[in-house]
């Protein structure tokens, strides 16, 4: 495969390959793990969205699509179903850095996948490491400090915080997490100490403290340069930036309420206006593109951004596995809300995401997809 014309030709021959969509396994199910250990993120299986992706692939014409649990049985199930490619819609099953476990296993097996590399996954999912990377890329992120209970006591950490920040308000959150869970606003140092204790109790992990930004909150999605649009693949040459969204905070809402608590509906988010808010869209695009290129990413992320009181934008974090639930009625995801603006359907984007990964393998790692080539 040398160009986009080859991709259009090859895509029509790929419907017979065997694809698995992996979702998080249940560590309490017999045989899913050997020993049960803590999970360092807030667990969610993502099985519902994995099923949405599976059904989309079937609608697109793929004939052999399986759902697999991301657990100790995944190697045997890959062999059993003769899987050619895995779509990783999982946050892992248990342990430290759980999102990187299965891409590591797949690389060891020689199975291509849709998802981030183990290293990229850990950078994106470790908020403190990601913020350091933003600084190295020249991307503004809010000032922060990390409480590592193995390194210092909470009292010593609070003394350090007082020299860094001088005054509040603050945000305290786990260094790894999802859906704004265990994220707390603290007005002053006394309140912050209590919130740090609470975050640690809930996550049993390091705690990130950052300056609270009082301005508007935005999200922006970015994925690969291959796009399936109007029944053919096009090469945009640059990362595809879309769904520039303002999260609509309620008057007393300091932090966007978790989707686990409050469903994301159309009235909780809005697309940044293409004509009236060109500067914000330009800034969000620049931020997303710089992160995507700088971290050498190859598939979808969502970047969360917040403005300070002057309107200056700062990156809060990046979601390495943003919600790809199929839109229905008034319920949307922060990624899918921008599809229509680009003339895309949900299925178009699923096809784009799959073939971005396939194209990258064919160009950069052809040996990894030699088994797929032999089926075409």
DSSP per-residue codes, 322-343: ---PPPBTTB--TTGGGTGGGT
Same fold, 4-114+367-373 and 215-344: no
In the chain, where the domains are located: 4-114+367-373, 143-211, 215-344
- DSSP H helices, 151-277, are 154-165, 189-203
Task: Give residue for tokens 């206006």.
Answer: 273
Asked if residue 8 has pLDDT above 90, the reply is no
Q: How confident is the model at residue 253 (pLDDT cuts 50, 70, 90)?
A: confident
Asked if residue 60 has pLDDT above 80, the reply is yes
Q: How confident is the model at residue 260 (pLDDT cuts 50, 70, 90)?
A: low
Q: How confident is the model at residue 259 (pLDDT cuts 50, 70, 90)?
A: low
CATH code assigned to 143-211: 3.30.1490.20
Q: What is the reported pLDDT for 234? A: 95
Closest among 277, 259, 279, 262 to 334, alpha carbons compared = 259
267-302 per-position pLDDT tens digit: 788 999 999 999 999 999 999 999 999 999 999 999
The stretch 215-229 carries a mean pLDDT of: 96
Closest among 265, 233, 180, 243 to 352, alpha carbons compared = 233
Asked if residue 257 has pLDDT above 70, the reply is no
When the pLDDT of each residue in the chain is averaged and rounded to a whole number, the result is 93
Cβ count within 10 A of residue 201: 9
Q: What is the reported pLDDT for 236? A: 94
Which one is the CATH code of 4-114+367-373: 3.40.1350.10, 3.30.565.10, 3.40.50.20, 3.40.1360.10? 3.40.50.20
Asked if residue 3 has pLDDT above 90, the reply is no
The stretch 67-88 carries a mean pLDDT of: 97
Q: Does domain 215-344 have CATH number 3.30.470.20?
A: yes
How big is the CA angle at 308 (ends 305 and 314), to the nearest 5 degrees? 35
- How far is 84 from 197, CA to CA, in rounded Å? 46
- How far is 31 from 229, CA to CA, in rounded Å? 43
161-190 per-position pLDDT tens digit: 999 998 999 999 999 987 778 899 999 999
Q: Which residues pair with 21 in a beta bridge?
A: 67, 87
This prediction's pTM? 0.94
- What distances in angstroms separate CA 247 from CA 51, 121, 148, 162, 255, one per listed residue? 27, 25, 31, 30, 10
Q: What is the reported pLDDT for 376? A: 86
319-337 per-position pLDDT tens digit: 999 999 998 877 778 999 9
């Amino acid at each position: 495969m040398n160009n986009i014309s080859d991709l259009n030709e090859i895509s029509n021959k790929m419907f017979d390959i065997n694809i698995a969509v992996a979702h998080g396994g249940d560590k309490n199910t017999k045989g899913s793990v050997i020993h049960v250990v803590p999970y360092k993120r807030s667990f969610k299986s993502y099985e519902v969205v994995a099923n949405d992706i599976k059904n989309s692939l079937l609608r697109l014409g793929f004939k052999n699509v399986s759902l697999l649990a991301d657990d100790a049985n995944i190697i045997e199930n890959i062999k059993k179903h003769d899987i050619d490619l895995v779509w990783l819609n999982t946050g892992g099953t248990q342990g430290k850095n759980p999102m990187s476990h299965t891409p590591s296993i797949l690389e060891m097996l020689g199975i291509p996948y849709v998802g981030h590399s183990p290293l990229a996954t850990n950078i994106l999912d470790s908020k403190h490491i990601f913020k350091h990377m933003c600084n190295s890329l020249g991307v503004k992120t809010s000032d922060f400090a990390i409480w590592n209970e193995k390194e210092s006591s909470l009292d010593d950490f609070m003394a350090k915080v007082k020299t860094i920040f001088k005054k509040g308000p603050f945000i305290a959150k786990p260094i790894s997490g999802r859906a704004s869970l265990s994220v707390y606003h603290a007005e002053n140092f006394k309140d912050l100490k209590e919130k740090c204790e609470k975050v640690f109790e809930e996550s049993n992990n390091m705690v990130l403290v950052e300056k609270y930004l009082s301005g508007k909150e935005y999200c922006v999605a970015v994925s690969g340069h291959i796009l399936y649009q109007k029944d053919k693949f096009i090469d945009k040459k640059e990362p595809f930036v879309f769904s520039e969204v303002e999260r609509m905070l309620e008057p007393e809402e300091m932090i966007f309420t978790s989707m686990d608590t409050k469903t994301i509906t159309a009235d909780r988010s809005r697309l940044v206006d293409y004509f009236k808010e060109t500067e914000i869209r330009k800034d969000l695009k620049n931020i997303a593109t710089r992160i995507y290129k700088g971290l050498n990413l190859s598939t979808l992320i969502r970047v969360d951004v917040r403005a300070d009181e002057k309107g200056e934008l700062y990156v809060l974090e990046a979601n390495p596995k943003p919600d790809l639930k199929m839109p229905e009625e008034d319920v949307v995801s922060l990624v899918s809300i921008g599809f229509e603006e680009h003339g895309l359907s949900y299925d178009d984007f699923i096809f784009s995401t799959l073939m971005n990964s396939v194209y990258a393998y064919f160009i950069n790692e052809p040996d990894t997809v030699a088994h797929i080539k032999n089926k075409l």
